[in-house]
Structures are given as C-alpha cells and as structure tokens.
Amino acid sequence: MLQDNDSDNGQAHALIALGSNLSSAAGGPAETILAALTMLGELGVKPSVVSRLFKTPCFPAGAGPDFVNAAASVMCELSPNDLLTMLHLVESRLGRVRETRWGARTLDVDLLAMGRRIVPDAETFRRWADLPPERQSVGAPDRLILPHPRMQDRAFVLIPLEEVAAGWRHPVFGLTVAEMARNLPKSDREAIKPL
C-alpha cells in the first residue's frame, strides 16, 4: 500500500481516479475502466495497486446514470503535465468527448496527486480548493492543480483511493486519505458500494 513515498527507483508514485457511466468501445463502464488501466500499462504508466470497482451515485445528482469508479497508484517517469496528457489520451481513445462539465462520460481519469507535490503552488491550490460549489460547475482551472483540489470532498474518489493509498498524506491539509474519508458525511460514504 502506498504511503508518503515520492519516488521509487527514479519513478514517481501517482494517484489516479477513474470513473465511467457510459459504454465505450471496450464495453460497459466497468470494462471501460479495466481497459483504461490496461492501456496505461501499455503506455508505460504501470498501475502498481488498483482498488476494487465501486458503484457510485452520479455526480452531480441527475446528470446521468450512476458511475463505476476506481482508484490506482501508478508508477511513471513522466512529469505531472506529461502524465496528465497521457491520461487524456487514454480518455480520448475510449471515446471521451469533453462537452459538458460534470456530464455523463465514457471515461474520466483524474490525476489526484504525485507524491507530495503541490502544483503549481499552494496559493493556487487553495484558491481552487476553496471555490464555492456554485462556481465549481462553471469554471475549470486552465492548468494542472495538484493535489486535485476537490478530492477531499468526494466519496467516489476517497473510498476507492483508501484501498490503494490510505496512508498518503495531503501536503496542504496534512490529513491522510483514510482521515479525509472518515471526515465525509456517513451518507456519502455508505452510498459507495463495491461491485
């Protein structure tokens, strides 16, 4: 299980979240996530630990069918921006079209963290992490923000992530994944069901 390590043999530990609520060429949402993990491995981004698949309520509510979500710890030698480009390539290959923020999608692969890096800086991270919910749905950062500025609020991210990186400590908030998951409302945690 991943703890706080930033690197191992020159490779960086990265944490990613995967979600799907539409079918792709690979099949239904579960098959799409498994295909994405295989593609990443073929591209040199090797998943070292993968969570179970979870059925999760659509976010935001009413935006489409329920999701299948998972999380993984991956090893790579890429920069954060190059890894994000690779994740977007996999999304595209599996039919992701970016039309509506938080809309239904064949695949969403989010880069949650790379070790304890804060990208681009703590001030920018805080600005996006503190963004009011009504503004989150209409605005998106124009650059990569690490750690992912909303991960601490989302059960569909933290419950799967707890299976692969319970001890990873958030470099801004100082909380582990397990602690952030425990801080979520009980109803949010209980809505996340293993497949």
Instruction: Report pLDDT digits (tens) over 39-74.
Output: 999 999 989 999 999 999 987 677 778 999 999 999
Residues ≥6 apart with Cβ < 8 Å to 28: 68
Nearest to 69 by CA among 171, 151, 174: 151
- What's the pTM value of the predicted model, to 2 decimals? 0.89
- Neighbouring C-alpha atoms within 13 Å toward the C-beta of 147: 24
Burial zone of 11 (CB within 10 Å; 0-12 exposed, 13-18 middle, 19+ buried): middle
- For 141-152, what is each residue's pLDDT tens digit? 788 999 999 999
Residues 39, 30: Cα–Cα separation, whole Å: 14
CATH 3.30.70.560 fits 7-194, yes or no: yes
Fill in the amino acid letter for 86.
Answer: M
- For 6-45, what is each residue's pLDDT tens digit? 444 556 789 999 999 999 999 999 999 999 999 999 999 9
- Residues marked active site are found at 96, 105, 108, 110
- Please tell me whether residue 186 adopts helix, strand or coil conformation: helix
- For 72-103, what is each residue's pLDDT tens digit? 999 888 999 999 999 999 999 998 776 554 56
Where exactly are the structural domains of the chain? Answer: 7-194
Which spans in 10-53 are helix H?
29-42
Q: What tokens were used for 60?
A: 């935001």
